């Protein structure tokens, strides 16, 4: 991997005492493993959860060997993993230093802290439940990293993916209709999509955003 002048700037800042540590963040576990092996970084920030287990292939082991602090982003899969207590307890079986779940309230923070503080590893039955909960998601879902934003047509792309994920190909019930009604509010901006493809170029997960915009237009137009 190419590191260049930005890394050199950070190394000099660390030598002078202006900063204490150098962290690298990324979504590609292979690139992140190479970065850890380089010996240039003190901390690594990467996605890892019950759906995305690729860091177990090498990244976490390499970081632990080199005393690189492991910081987990998207421990709840960007909010798509429904059973939060089980999703957090999943990490008790792995040698990671920090997990950073998103929270919307003080209550959520307290509940998350309580769950981890109990230090109860998942049983085989609980792991099976957790894996079954996310089975239908596969890897083809939005983690809401927002690398695709801003859109040149002012489309809220993570919102598009969220509605598509919950509604596409599913029978319309009260909850689905509620989501589709929310999607209708996006219709004016959806129709301005120029299909420039910038969103797909920026997406670290190669999601088919342009096709999903077309799908959503068709769904809310019914």
Confidence of residue 117 (pLDDT cuts 50, 70, 90): very high
The strand pairing partners of 45, in sequence order, are: 25, 71
Closest alpha carbon to 70 in 45, 89, 35, 102: 45
Confidence of residue 71 (pLDDT cuts 50, 70, 90): very high
| CA distances (Å), origin 5, targets 9, 11, 12, 43, 53 | 6, 10, 11, 19, 32
Find all residues with CB under 8 Å of 39, minimum gap 6, and list them. 66
List b or e across 111-127, with b for residues whose CB sees 16 or more CB atoms inside 10 angstroms: ebeebbeeeeebeeebb
* Dist. CA 30–CA 44, nearest whole Å: 12
Mean pLDDT on 92-99: 96
Compare 2 and 154 and report the one with higher pLDDT. 154
The pLDDT tens digits for 12-42 are: 999 999 999 999 999 889 999 999 999 999 9
Closest alpha carbon to 70 in 39, 98, 31, 105: 98
Q: What are the residue ranges spanned by the domains of the chain? A: 4-137, 157-221
DSSP string, 31-88: HHHHHHHTT--SEEEEE-SSS--GGGGTHHHHHHHTTPEEEEE-TTGGGT-S-HHHHH
pLDDT at 141: 82
pLDDT at 65: 96
Most confident region among 53-57, 98-102, 174-178, 184-188 by mean pLDDT:
98-102
* Dist. CA 11–CA 79, nearest whole Å: 35
Mean pLDDT on 58-68: 96
* Dist. CA 122–CA 100, nearest whole Å: 19
| Three-point CA angle 182, 186, 192, nearest 5° | 165
The pLDDT tens digits for 82-93 are: 899 999 999 999
Find all residues with CB under 8 Å of 159, minimum gap 6, and list them. 186
- Which architecture does CATH list for 4-137? Alpha-Beta Barrel (3.20)
């Amino acid at each position: 991997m190419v590191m260049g002048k930005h890394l050199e700037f950070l190394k000099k800042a660390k030598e002078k005492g202006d900063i204490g540590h150098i962290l690298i963040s990324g979504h590609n576990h292979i690139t992140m493993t190479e970065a850890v092996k380089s010996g240039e970084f003190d901390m690594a920030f990467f996605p890892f959860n019950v759906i995305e287990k690729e860091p177990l292939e090498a990244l976490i082991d390499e970081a632990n060997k080199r005393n690189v602090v492991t910081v987990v982003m998207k421990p709840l899969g960007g909010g798509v993993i429904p059973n939060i207590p089980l999703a957090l307890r999943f990490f008790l079986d792995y040698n990671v230093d920090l997990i950073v779940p998103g929270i919307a309230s003080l209550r959520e923070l307290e509940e998350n802290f309580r769950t981890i503080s109990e230090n109860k590893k998942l049983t085989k039955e609980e792991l099976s439940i957790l894996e079954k909960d996310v089975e239908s998601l596969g890897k083809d879902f939005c983690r809401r990293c927002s690398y695709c934003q801003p859109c040149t047509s002012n489309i809220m792309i993570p919102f598009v993916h969220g509605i598509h994920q919950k509604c596409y190909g599913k029978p319309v019930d009260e909850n689905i209709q509620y989501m589709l009604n929310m999607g209708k509010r996006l219709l004016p901006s959806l129709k301005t999509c120029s299909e420039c493809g910038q969103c797909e170029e920026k997406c670290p997960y190669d999601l088919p955003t342009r096709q999903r915009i077309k799908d959503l237009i068709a769904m809310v137009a019914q």
